[in-house]
Amino acid sequence: MTGSGERFYTLAPDDGPDPVKECRVSGTESDEDRLRNTTRVVSRSRRSFLAQGTALVGGGLVAERAVDPAAARESAAAQESADGPPGVPPWMTTPGADTGAQPYGTPSPFEKNVVKNIPKTLKQYTSASVRTPLQELDGIITPNGLFYERHHGGVPEIDPAQHRLMIHGLVERPLVLTMADVRRFPSVSQIHFIECSGNPDFKAIRAGRTASDLVGLVSCAEWTGVRLRTVLEEAGLKPGARWVIAEGADSAALTRSLPIAKCLDDALLVYSQNGERLRPQQGYPLRVLLPGYEGNMSVKWLRRLNVTDEPAYSREETAKYTDLMPDGTARQFTFTMEAKSVITRPSGTQRIVPGFNEITGIAWSGRGRIARVEVSVDDGRSWQEAQLQAPVLDKALTRFRLAWSWGGEAAVIQSRATDETGYVQPLFSALAGARGLNSFYHNNAVIPWRIAESGEVSNGYPKA
């Protein structure tokens, strides 16, 4: 027992007596609400402790039932492996790799399967999408190498010394800026998500096996650059300026119309991502970022900003990126990505064992901060509020967690997010009832996962 009065788990000697050990689980304020009670846990030996499941009972963490015997044996065998304590593994007997052996750090070779998810449904080069492996990640920041991609004309290789940004149209002083000019403006760094509006297609939700398959076209990073407002003020907006037409330097010359109000609010011109210069796949050397708006409005490889009094009605906001309704009409300029969440563990293709399991996932909203995430473990019949991991940021991914004891029965788990405006993530039945199934974009429905008695997790949407 420590001087602070907190008690912690201890294990009895492997062949020693069967003492009763006291424990107290401490953590954040939300943890204390759930786990405030000091409980007593019987621990007979290291092996028996590994075989004990745990469950939340009356706010405390207490022993309840044995975990899967095979899993327990595997854990015990791992402890007694020659490579584990007290044995000496081979990597402790010789010096490791030289410091600086890698000029640019890479993940461990044992993490070789944590890679981007490359679907086969879109033709590569001219049109491509690559998804983030959400179920393999922790926290809220997406590594640059795993950030999702969506391209319309491949990835150009641009020499930043040759790149220029033109600002013209309804401005007092048309500008042509080099990258050095852009970096001379006062800089800011902000954490925001970007999400493709087709994440996922209304008709594809039953086919996805993993969290990445379903909603892997969302990622989150710290972005560094210049406020777009600062650059537009340098050019001087003329009366009548209502839109900014952004054009990319890819072979598709992707063009989107940006509302002037958004441009003067929180829009950025960014040149760095998570502390390093943008990757080519993310728009190197310069892109615009519109926090909370559908992804392709954050035009990559930005080369031109044309200030106008009306939108461009480009291909990507007429033939594409509009929402077809049941009556044949289409919603246009649906910019904001609504509140959304997904459980990433346990999720599709994973397997759990009876006893304590932490349910965790991510939530986000283009309207602002996440206010609440609720989790159901009984197919939506009841809901429990999950803990939100700080920081909870504006238009950024938010990590949520819920302690849960699984008893080995079939279950359906799902999460729903509420943002600071009061908007609640809808069930798919409600969303489809309002919009029909013709739309490809802006599907933010609740995502269920089905857990079989074997512990295997799969897509919880009913089969068509």
Domain ranges of the chain: 20-79, 128-331, 340-459
Hey, is 400 helix, strand or coil?
A: strand
Q: Is the pLDDT of residue 76 over 60?
A: no
Report the alpha-carbon distance of residue 248 to residue 301 in Å, rounded. Answer: 5
Give the model confidence (pLDDT) of 296-339 as tens digits: 999 999 999 999 999 999 999 988 888 888 888 888 899 999 99
Report the alpha-carbon distance of residue 85 to residue 66 in Å, rounded. Answer: 25
128-331: CATH topology is Sulfite Oxidase; Chain A, domain 2 (3.90.420)
Report the alpha-carbon distance of residue 398 to residue 415 in Å, rounded. Answer: 13
Hey, what CATH class is 340-459 in? mainly beta
Residue with tokens 């974009």: 441
Instruction: Kindly state the average pLDDT of the residues 16-37.
Output: 40
Closest CA to 257 of 217, 309, 216: 309
- List, in sequence order, every residue forming a beta bridge with 220; answer none if it has no partner: 193
Predicted local distance difference test score (pLDDT) of residue 23:
36
The mean pLDDT of the chain is 85
Please answer whether residues 274 and 222 qualify as being in contact, where contact means their C-beta atoms are separated by less than 8 angstroms. yes
Q: Is the pLDDT of residue 362 over 60?
A: yes
Give the model confidence (pLDDT) of 227-274 as tens digits: 999 999 999 999 999 999 999 999 999 999 999 999 999 999 999 999
Lowest mean pLDDT among 93-97, 119-123, 208-212, 285-289: 119-123
Predicted local distance difference test score (pLDDT) of residue 241:
98
Instruction: Kindly state the average pLDDT of the residues 163-181.
Output: 99
The confidence band for 123, taking pLDDT boundaries of 50, 70 and 90, is: low
Report the alpha-carbon distance of residue 108 to residue 106 in Å, rounded. Answer: 7
Report the alpha-carbon distance of residue 160 to residue 144 in Å, rounded. Answer: 19
